[in-house]
Structure 1
Amino acid sequence: MSATVASAVSSAAASAAATSAAAAAATAAARAAPAVRQLLRHSLRHSPQALRREIARAASHRGTPLTVRELYAFGQRALLAPNATRLHSAQWLHSELPVRLAHRVLELSELPYGLAEMPSVKEVKDMYQNSFCDIVESGRPDTYLEEQNFSEMLTSIRTRHDDVVRLIAKGVIELKEHCGRTSSDLEIRSFLDRFYMSRIGIRVLMSHHLALGDPSPGMAGVINRFCKPSHLIEQAVVATRSLAYQHYGEAPTVEIRGNTQLQFPYIDSHLYLCLFELLKNSLRATVETHRDADVLPPVRCIIADGVEDVTIKISDEGGGFRRSEMKGVWTYLYTTAKLPPKQLLEMEDRIDRTNRPDPIAGFGYGLPLSRLYARYWGGELALASMEGYGTDAYLHLSKLGDKKECLTA
């Protein structure tokens, strides 16, 4: 993880056979911990003033950004000393996660134009406050049993936050109805970028810790040492062509070229999310532009292996878009779907999403979120369009794994 955590892991491995005195001290601390936690629980849960003070104290610190290389190295240590590594990971997260959560709680309390008062935004703020309290109240895990309990709590928190993206989107729609402000406003768009970028980081840390207890070949936590872009492209092609067939009854072929054997350390799910979004847009544009053609032109994916970056280019002949539309493409809730975002979100509230295929065009979050995932570790997502012909998307990813997280605070 970080250099500090790495050194802690090394010392933990060296002292695996603890002395009886240290064991006695740990037992005493464990017995005293419930009383301390109970006192803190009472002060935070039942005293808004105490909660505000604790959140302000945590937010006075900055988060500690990590790199893919650090996460992977820490995951490798977990294979050699799993219990000690997971314990020190839990201890680090116990101090790091409240800092990141506290920054978001404060920002959710101080949003412009009354966005903080929108019902869905207040729901998210309460969610983050509850997660903050859960971690602070749990106390620092000092035994392997406490680490297991801490991990169970992280699983619950991660599940609790599953719906955050949609709730914040709903809050922006509520704001539009309230005062006419939309996500095209620079302050709101900047907040959304910061908030969602922070959410990515929080989920990465929790997921990485939880994955340390369930190692898979080639994996170190959530980092896949052998992440293969061509393999993920193939998976995304199957999923997006299936969507196109469901909506249009046809789909263009997708050609994969370049260095199809390339492998490098990365998070599979982050890359897949970007590929899925870009291919979904390209297939949709191609079908709608050439609906009357006998043969649909193919979509082309090219994988380039550079010294510093891995670049994936996705090219289509879907008609492109006007240069005047470029800013809108990166705006949250900007969509070319036939249904407006509000109606799409209302459908999401009414329908069981677990048994329903994803829509071919959603409520305008795909591209801006994909760009955040690309930028999270020093990458980029850029579009180049030729109106009347097609669009090229360039997905750049840091190959060296030495870029730190893009933390907002």
Structure 2
Amino acid sequence: MAPSVNPGRVRWVDRPIRPISLRQLFFFGRTLDESRLLSSANYVRVELPTRLAHRLREMQRLPYVVVTNPHLSLVYELYYKSFEIFRRIPAIRNLEENDEFCKVISDSLKEHLAVIPNLVMGVLECQDLVSPDKMDNFVQAMLRARISRRVIAEQHLALTETFNSPWHVPQPSSEDEFVGEVLLRCNAKEVVERVGRFTQDICRSSGGVDPIVPEIRIQGHVNATFPYVLSHLEYVVGELLRNSVQAVMGRYKDTKKPPPPIDVLICEAPQHVVIRISDQGGGIPRDIMPFLWSFCKGPRRASRLQNFKDVPTLAATMQEVRHASHAKPSAKIRDSSLSSLASRPPDLRLGMGLPMSRVYAEYWAGGLDLHSLEGYGVDAFLQISKLGNQNEKLTSRASIDAV
């Protein structure tokens, strides 16, 4: 176990976290010049060790027997190492120093791809030592904090990449472009179509001889757009579609008739967009339903833990075996833990897709709910904020990381 954050570093824990919204990311990066890029670098330079210090302190408050779990201890070591690196970086004054800083960020992001599988394995192994509700709250807080760190880190890397590109202009020529990691006009229908094809291909590849994959039908407000981090939306939509496609294929695998389609309805309102995904896959078993949003509770805990342990490598991917033959669903090519998670084999069931999807959906002031009719199917409702009056909710949620 690494040493605790000593009194000389308490100032990092005492510093308030400065949350940031999609709107701020969006407007700050649209007119990108050297001054703004360096300002972004110094914001990240201070914010990362601050947020890491809060997570280290939170882990130190766990019972000692929990923190000494080898998986959770590895997470602590990774966080402490990054904290020590980032807290020593001086103010960034020029583009050369920013390039060096970006290399440090990239190395840290790659190293931390091992965090989520080890975090979940540690929590599953410690279920009998701490109440499941407390461990669920701990995992959710850790994931929210992890999203917040990766968002600001990956956004700065993307801004630097944009600034250094030969075709960079201070402002995007159209709202169909990216500002860093934020897609200014994210079209819900296009995302569902692209991720749907990707999901169908993955499920078809492991569905046996000549599998029949259900059609995905889209209707409603098909022109609805909103600014969003595309990789986040693709991940959540992908998890929901994957669940529906696998459920329908499993239920109708012994029939020669085409399975019923998966219906996606897009509804646009002044403040939000709702994506409803409906299937006829038989619904969720009654014994699973109470534990749907839990990371560590439920009757399938042992099999989930074994699946995690069967993954051949944790350092290179988030928690799954990646099929190199499958392209990433996103049109924006950037390696990330989410893109590799989306490419995991269908038979590698880890039981964390829904709770993790809810964390991602809620992070940007949205929501995720499911309604199951046992014996028939499931309706999943993904609500996405259009950033109007939801900005305060974004700030409120981000502030949770400071607790």
Give the TM bin, normalised by the shorter chain.
Answer: 0.7 to 0.9
* 8 Å Cα contact 2:219-2:264 kept in structure 1: yes
Whole-Å separation in 2 of the counterparts to 1:335 and 1:296: 30
In the other structure, the counterpart of 2:282 is: 319
* 8 Å Cα contact 2:185-2:227 kept in structure 1: yes
Report the TM-score, using the length of structure 1 for normalisation. 0.81
Mapping of 1:94-173 within 5 angstroms? 94-112=45-63, 114-173=65-124
1:301-341 CA distances to partner (integer Å, 9 max, x unpaired)? 11111111111000001111256633311111568989811
Is 1:341 the counterpart of 2:304 in the alignment? yes
* 8 Å Cα contact 1:382-1:394 kept in structure 2: yes
Decide whether aligned partners of structure 1 residues 112 and 197 sit closer, same or farther in structure 2, where only a CA change above 3 A counts: same
In the other structure, the counterpart of 2:370 is: 383
Give the % identical residues: 30
Mapping of 1:36-47 within 5 angstroms? none
Decide whether aligned partners of structure 1 residues 108 and 219 sit closer, same or farther in structure 2, where only a CA change above 3 A counts: same
What is the Cα-based RMSD across aligned positions, in Å? 2.4
In the other structure, the counterpart of 1:43 is: none
Correspondent of 1:282 among 233, 240, 244 = 244
Structure with bigger RCO (C-alpha 8 Å, 6+ apart): 2
Query: Mind listing any 5+ residue stretches in structure 1 that lack a counterpart?
Result: 1-46
Correspondent of 1:241 among 200, 205, 214 = 200
Decide whether aligned partners of structure 1 residues 337 and 247 sit closer, same or farther in structure 2, where only a CA change above 3 A counts: farther
Whole-Å separation in 2 of the counterparts to 1:115 and 1:191: 12
In the other structure, the counterpart of 1:371 is: 358
Deviation at 1:349, TM superposition (A): 3.0
In the other structure, the counterpart of 2:182 is: 223
In the other structure, the counterpart of 2:220 is: 258
Deviation at 1:58, TM superposition (A): 0.8
* 8 Å Cα contact 1:334-1:365 kept in structure 2: no
Q: Which amino acid is the alignment partner of residue 299 of structure 1?
A: I
Deviation at 1:92, TM superposition (A): 1.3
Is 1:306 the counterpart of 2:269 in the alignment? yes
Whole-Å separation in 1 of the counterparts to 2:109 and 2:26: 21
Report the TM-score, using the length of structure 2 for normalisation. 0.82
Whole-Å separation in 1 of the counterparts to 2:105 and 2:249: 43
Is 1:201 the counterpart of 2:166 in the alignment? no
Whole-Å separation in 2 of the counterparts to 1:94 and 1:54: 19
1:133-174 CA distances to partner (integer Å, 9 max, x unpaired)? 111112121222222211111111111111211010121233
Largest Rg, 1 or 2: 1
Q: Which amino acid is the alignment partner of residue 359 of structure 1?
A: P
1:249-275 CA distances to partner (integer Å, 9 max, x unpaired)? 221111011122222111110100000
Q: Which amino acid is the alignment partner of residue 65 of structure 1?
A: P
Decide whether aligned partners of structure 1 residues 339 and 122 sit closer, same or farther in structure 2, where only a CA change above 3 A counts: closer
Query: Mind listing any 5+ residue stretches in structure 2 that lack a counterpart?
Result: 163-167, 325-342
Aligned length: 355
Whole-Å separation in 2 of the counterparts to 1:315 and 1:168: 32
* 8 Å Cα contact 1:113-1:181 kept in structure 2: no
Whole-Å separation in 1 of the counterparts to 2:63 and 2:368: 28
